[in-house]
Structure formats: C-alpha cells, structure tokens
Chains A and B, each alone.
Chain A
Amino acid sequence: MEEREGGGARGASGRRGRGELESDVLAALWAADGPLTAGQVREALPGDLAYTTVLTILSRLHDKEMLVRHREGRGYAYEPVRDEASHTAQRMRSLLEGGSDREAVLARFVSELSEQDEHVLHQLLSGHDARAEDDHSGGRA
C-alpha cells in the first residue's frame, strides 16, 4: 500500500485522468474572483500541465455548457455557469439534512468543531514548525 501511494505522489500530475483534470479546472474557476484565461487557469493548477491540455479541457467544459467565455485579448476568459449550480445546491442541502444515518452515505470533508477544537486547531496550524512540542501534547484530544 505504501509503495502504491508513493507512486501516486511521484506521478501526481502525470496520471490524472480526463475527468479529474476537468474537476481541477472547474474547481479553479469557481475559486477565482472573476473570469480566468487559459494561462491563469494553468497557473492555478498543481503540477505542470501543458497549455494546450488546459485549453482542451476548457473548451470541452464550454461545450458541456458548464462555462461561459468572453473574448479577452487574443483568447478567451472563462467563467463557470451559475444557475444550475444554485438549483443543485438546494437539492444537496436537503440531502445533507436527511437524518442522522446519512453520515454513512455522505463522507463529509470536515466535521464540526467544538470551541476547544477551534483553539487547538489554530495552535496546530500556526505553530506546526515546533513539531517537537506537538509530540509532547499528543495525548490531548
């Protein structure tokens, strides 16, 4: 298992499938403040993707009507289409509220924090260079 994971790390950008690349591009565009050009998208993505690859993915997402684009200089700047996403948001919210055992179906990225958790987390993230100290306090949850 460890060997395989190591392999995954080496090929982090090389082995991503088409679907994963689409997700990465879409995520970058949604995270941005405004429309992005292909070059800007490429900068926001991890790894060294070829410019043409990014361009291909952008035009494919545009064909699927998930992006809108407008001329900017010699190329286009892309922006995600928002109306479907807000419909989806409502449905997904109701899915999340569907009872306590939904937990088994939906794996959420982060669970809730208590006030103490929040404090500990701030400490961990601000001072993780002082790793030795963390090890000493490892017993506290």
Chain B
Amino acid sequence: MLLSVYIPFAVTAVLAVLAPRLTPLLPPRPAAWALACAALVTSVGWAGALALLAFTGVAQIPEVAEQGRWSVTALRAEDPVYLVVAVASALLLTAGTVSLGIAAVRQTRHVVRARRECARLPQTELVVLDDDAPIAFALPGKPGRVVVSRGMLRCLGDRERAALLAHERAHLRGRHHLFQGLWLLAAALNPVLRPLAVAGEFVLERWADEEAAARVGDRTVVAHAVGRAALASAGAPRPAALAATGGVVPQRVRALLAPPPARRRLPLMAGGLLLAVCCASLVNAASDSDRMVDSAQCAAYAAAPSAPSGEDHRHEPDICRR
C-alpha cells in the first residue's frame, strides 16, 4: 500500500511522456490500439489509486467508521497515508469525475446530433456539399457518411479523389470516432493523459492514410491528395471555429512519402508490461487496504464491551478468528 498505490500515477506519467514520442514511429493501426489500451488502463489505474488514497482519509471520519464498524484509532495507527494526501486525492477524484461527466454528456450530444444529421442525408455513402470551400470529413452514423464539398473534389485529381474517399471510408470502417471518444474522456478524467489524445488523433489520420494508400495502391498519390487538400484549405476563407492543429499535415505527407513504417514489437511489449504493472499494483494496493480495514474491524470488536444480551448482532469478523 505504501508504495504500490502510487505506481499507477508513475505509469500514467511515463506513458503520457513516452507514448506521443513512440507511437508515430509504429504502424498506425497497432499504435492506435495501444494508445486506446493505455488510455483505458491508466484511467482506471488513476481513478482506482485516487479512490484508495481518498478512502483512507474518509474512513477516519467517525460517522463512517461507525457505519463500517471499524476502529478509527486502529486505522490511523496503521494508515501509511498522510491526511493531506488523502484529502488531495479526494478532491482530484471529485474534479476528475465531474469533468468526465461533463465531457461524456457533451460527447453524447455531439454523437446524437451527428446521427440525426446522418438520418436526414440522402441515402448514399457519399454526400456532396455545394460549397466552394474545401471540406471533407467522415460523419459517423448508421450507416456513416463521407461528406465532401464540391470545392474539395474539384481541387483533386482523379486518383487523389479516390484516395480521399478511401481515407474517409477508413475512418468510418475503423470506427475511429470511438477511439477519439475514449481518448477525450480519458483526458477529461485525467488531464495528464491529454498528450495521449493528441497523439491518438494523429495516429488515426495516419491509419486512414495508410489504408487509403493500400486501396489506391500508391502512397505518393495519397501524400499528394493530403497535401493538396491542405494547401487548398489554407488558401480558402474558412469558418473561424475550425481550430488549428499545426504541423500534422506535413508529418502525414512525409510519412507517406517515406517507406511504410516497420513493425516493431519492443515498444508495444514495453507498454504492455507497464500497463500490467499498473494493474498489478492497483490490485495489490486494494488488497492491502482491505486487510487494513479488516484489522481495524477486529480492533473495534475487541475494544467493544460485550453486547447487551439478546441483541448480539455484532458478529465477530471472520478474519479475526484466524
């Protein structure tokens, strides 16, 4: 408990620093899955560890101890966690949960709106907008649609157009919005994970680029499609709300002009190991704190005067008999 409860925090920090640096070097599909696993496990680890730390503080409140039938003094004597740490953990956990809730509501609202718009669109996979600004995106739904503006179609050549469609189809087929949703929620719960979400966004684009390249059969064509679309968008006036994320497009083009990324096992295995350590230490910390509560219950039982006759519903905790 003394050490193991802090290990999930360490793992989260290490992954938040390393993952954005390593994942662009990997083939995008395994990289996306690795980032998704990392986000999920570290979120659970983070929240679990905070909850355990907060619990040690909460459990010392006399009313809570009364309910749980454990001895506050015994718990305080055994507890290796400073009260300040426990209180800070409780606050962090509360803030994280609130922010997760807000993000989840917002996210759901966006998905519902996208679904509704999807249902109103003509029954074709491709929806063309009569708009001269170059726009292209994948709209998830049942079924998902590829939405492209006339301006975008006109700035691409025949093969580049095929690459664009293949790219957007890859987003829909791979259900990339679910990955993004997961990263977004993880970052809402724990802001330390925000770099993971940024890295994830890039990796998803790379995934769709690589799949488009496989479809079209030529990486250069996809590189040109991405580059040309980006340059056309840069030249056109656009709504202010399209937020800037710099540097991504040149990296994608560069990756497409280079040979496909080699498969690497080592970073994935190292990441998997870290996640396993995170899980194991959380389990260890949980069982430690369970044991602590048990012994505090025994202390409470031992300290209590024998119950009035006939009302003996205070059973001796099983664990004390051992």
Residue ranges of A at the interface with B (Cβ–Cβ < 8 Å): 1-2, 5-6, 8-10, 12, 19-20, 22-24, 26-28, 30-31, 44-46, 61, 64, 66, 80, 82, 84-86, 88-89, 91-93, 95-114, 116-118, 120-122, 124-125, 128, 131, 134-135, 138, 141
Q: A91-B117, A96-B137, A124-B227 are in contact. Are A27 and B250 (CB under 8 A)?
A: no
Which chain B residues in 187-233 approach chain A with CB under 8 Å?
A: 201, 204-205, 208, 210-211, 214-217, 220, 223-224, 226-231, 233
Q: A121-B250, A131-B257 are in contact. Are A27 and B128 (CB under 8 A)?
A: yes
Residue ranges of B at the interface with A (Cβ–Cβ < 8 Å): 27, 29-30, 103, 106-107, 110-111, 113-114, 117, 120-131, 135-140, 146-150, 152-154, 156, 158-159, 161-162, 164-165, 167-169, 171, 176-177, 180-181, 183-184, 201, 204-205, 208, 210-211, 214-217, 220, 223-224, 226-231, 233-234, 238-239, 241-251, 253-254, 257-258, 260, 263
A111 to B243, CA, bound (A): 8
Going nearest first, the 5 A-B pairs with the smallest beta carbon separation are A23-B126, A5-B214, A109-B136, A89-B129, A85-B130
Judge whether A27 and B177 touch: CB under 8 Å.
no
A21 to B213, CA, bound (A): 18
Judge whether B168 and A101 touch: CB under 8 Å.
no
| Nearest CB of B to A58, in Å | 13
Give 5 new A-B contacts, CB below 8 A, not counting A93-B239, A106-B114, A128-B223: A30-B154, A82-B130, A109-B152, A109-B226, A118-B231
Residue of B nearest to A91 (CB): B117
Judge whether A109 and B258 touch: CB under 8 Å.
no
A101 to B99, CA, bound (A): 13
Judge whether A97 and B241 touch: CB under 8 Å.
yes
Pairs across A and B, CB under 8 Å, 29 listed = A8-B214, A9-B217, A10-B217, A23-B126, A28-B161, A30-B153, A31-B154, A31-B161, A85-B130, A86-B131, A88-B127, A92-B135, A96-B135, A97-B241, A98-B110, A99-B241, A104-B110, A105-B140, A107-B168, A107-B180, A113-B234, A118-B231, A120-B250, A124-B223, A124-B253, A125-B224, A128-B257, A134-B258, A135-B258
A20 interface neighbour in B125, B201, B217, B228, Cβ under 8 Å: B125
Judge whether A110 and B244 touch: CB under 8 Å.
no
The dominant DSSP class at the A interface is helix
What are the residues of chain A within 8 A of B128 when measuring CB–CB?
Answer: 26-27, 30, 80, 85
Judge whether B257 and A124 touch: CB under 8 Å.
yes
A101 to B208, CA, bound (A): 20
Q: A31-B153, A113-B249, A134-B254 are in contact. Are A12 and B110 (CB under 8 A)?
A: no
Residue of A nearest to B127 (CB): A88
A101 to B111, CA, bound (A): 11
| Nearest CB of B to A74, in Å | 25
B106 interface neighbour in A101, A110, A113, A116, Cβ under 8 Å: A101
Residue of B nearest to A16 (CB): B215
